Structure 1
Amino acid sequence: MMSAITRRSRISHIHWSNILERDYFGTAYRQAQDPGAPWLISFVATAEEVSTWAGIPRRSEKGLVGFQRPDDAARVDRAQEYFKDPVNQSPTALIVGIHRVSSETDRRVRLQFLDGHNDLPTRPCKLTISFDPEPNSLADAVQSIKAQISLRLSETSGADDDSDDEEDDSDSDGEDDDPVGDDGEIELGRSLLMELANKLEDSTWCEANKTDLFDLAKPCTVIDGQHRLKGATRCERNIPFAVIAIYDCSWPEQVFQFTVVNYTAQGIPDQFITQNAALSLTGDELEDLKARLTQAKVKVVEYELMRVVNFDGTSPFYQLVSMASQGNEETKIGYKTMVKIAKAWHNGKHSAIKQIVANLYPDITGKASIVKRERQHRWVDGDWGIFFIDFWDAIRGYYEKEAPPEFKPWKVGASNLMLAATLLELQNVFLFNLTQQDEEFFIPDSQSKETPLEQLRAKIRKRAEKVASLIPVEFFQRTWKMKSLNTGAGRAAIQTALKTFLEKKGNYQYDKSSLITGKTN
């Protein structure tokens, strides 16, 4: 199964303190038809061995970049108890990713085929892993992580694009590390990588986080099976595991495999997948994976929504949406309802939004079916987010201006306005009001110096402020005795109250509303 351990004094330009080598004999195979797909390697290793050379890349508020969920202590305890039973075994394989490297001199895991049949999809092989069992050089770990970051940034900046295409991409020279793309939108995954790179220059920060950095610097990462691995390691009896290693595995491929394995098998929360996409992948990386993730039934569209709603710094809801996998965050707005709110703009199916889309792109001409498809493509590609932010920014701006100093209308937990159900119904009322406008409202002035986009944005903001002016800020200050607004009587009550404000042009004696009284007919 494995050979004796040998020692090496150094590897590449990194001088590790006590490098060991371990050989694993197994089988390399490909399930994919694409000859460029990475090799899958099946072999056996003990839990202690895997823990030595494979790290667990967890997301962290410390600025570390990863995709794994935090340890679930209860699951680790259960795994430990399971393996303590003398008859129990876990035949399911651990899945690890072997890092892609920018240069062969940096490679710490080497694959050697033991036959001469290059065209076969299944081949006997030897995997040699070089690792430091007791790392004590923080500088070497930092250098290794910098190399990983540099590779990812170069792969997503177009730096290696040797295409002879006549259309020149001004960003393809790879010299510009600005995380802001051509459209001014920040790619969060890329910017976080650069933020981590900057933190690695801070020796104090590195010292404070050295345990995590040592883990991140390992030549492999655990994609699936972290709790079984930790529970087995606690037993301290070298429990062997089947291991499936993905050789030369890019970071996006590791995130993809984690997502597919966990999402399809255990149904992990959509918000965790969404946040993983936003914080673990750059825009280019996600774009490359979209088709595969969609095919695997992962809700990629929710990333597109939250990239605008929760992760765009100009959004009125920036960092206000709950991304918790479980439980409630009292200072955050409910994820599912915010997805529903954003979808109304994104899918463009509401008649009011259809009017906007129909008049926003006068430069698109041709057959009706082609025009409709191209309009929708442009809208979904980004313009929906512009109007979403404009609308809610106008609402926030109006109520913050009208509110007394002691009242914070846009603070979650301090205002009835910032309840997810209220926001949803307020938007519904606005869109209904928009459908009541004359057709001319949506038609841009062809003689204006402003573009159709600028004209329609201004109209939407002005109409949003008008609707807000009919619903007094005091209404959201009052104590609402009816608390459950998502279904039944509560939902009907908030719908009735908001519609009545508009129907009566703001002259609504809302004290008698069932929201306030808690009484239903």
Structure 2
Amino acid sequence: MATYKYSAIIYRQRDTADQLFCVFPARVGEVQLWATVDRLTPENKAGVQRERKDARVDAIGDFFKADDRNTIPTSIIIAIPRASLDLGGIEEKDISTQPVSVAITIDVPDGQPVPGLIIDGQHRTYGIAKYDSTIPVNVVAIVGAGDDEIAFQFIVINNKVSKVSPDHIKALKLEYSDANLDSRLTRSARMRSSGAPAYLEQIDTQDDSPFKGMLKWPRNEVDAKRSIPLNAFEMALMHIGSKRLDQVGGEEGVSSDFIARFFIEMWKRVKASWPALWDDPASRLLKKVGVVCMSQYLVDTLVSWSLSPYAKIDLTDLNQAGDVVTDILKQQEMAFWTAEWDAASLDTKSGREWVVDSLERIQYNKANNLPWNKNVSLTLGKKDASGE
């Protein structure tokens, strides 16, 4: 039998509550030896946890890498059966709302399932352990909770969490210098002190971003003709967000970090398929019209394919979504982005619709073994950029 010993504080939050709360620090890798995730699946209808999202796990590692001062104070909440916890001689009936210090022991019998069930914090647990399994985390153990209580706590915790308001963040600036707080918020939490998500910072600075250093910002010393306006990315990201690809946001909406990660993964596949367009000054793909229209086309096609009864595509799995993007690009033509277009500017709603229509026609042509530019109106001059 394996045993794990901790110095803890234990109490009963209310005299009328059946379960106890036990609070203690534990190294995250060790937590994984006595606690696991019980996911809700078609085969396990008693599970409470949602599916693991690799994007959220990776985001935890990025948070720790962003700044060596970064820590996560939020507790991992774990349900533990009363029989699996030794309270060091303290009688359960004597535990009240007055916290007491206790030396606890968690027992894991050989050949038996681990006793702990993680009901909140699975992504923090996986993400921190993936970064460094020796990092300690705060644990709140709910001791003696039954299945109904575990399910209740999960629903309450995951539906009542609210974001920190912009006013609250601004209040923090009374104690910290503007530059340091803004810099750390941007690097670590994709936020600014205004509360706005810093998508653009992630796209412009992340090492694996295909647009690193290409945004039209004063700090980027790139050819003005090759830099990309910020609103191109804002429009593309807004379109991704409108599709509700990541449902883990719940009431709070789509995860801003997921949106940026999805965009970067999608365009990584575009660059891997068409690397020459990143070096070709004639490429329209790396202009505003290309970023906006290609993003819209890819996202809409991904959503359409994922809804097909013949395909099982999980768009929250970035690797899977990226593989599908690669397949979609096989029905596109790189030469379209350097071909002569019968329009000088397409930065209008109807102009962008014209480009997307052309991409859809190319997809049709490729799927039916026709010349890629057959009836592609943008290269044939059938209407002008205003769509009239």
Bucket of the pairwise TM-score, normalised by the shorter protein: 0.3 to 0.5
Give TM-score scaled by structure 1 length.
0.30
Give TM-score scaled by structure 2 length.
0.39
Structure showing greater radius of gyration is 1
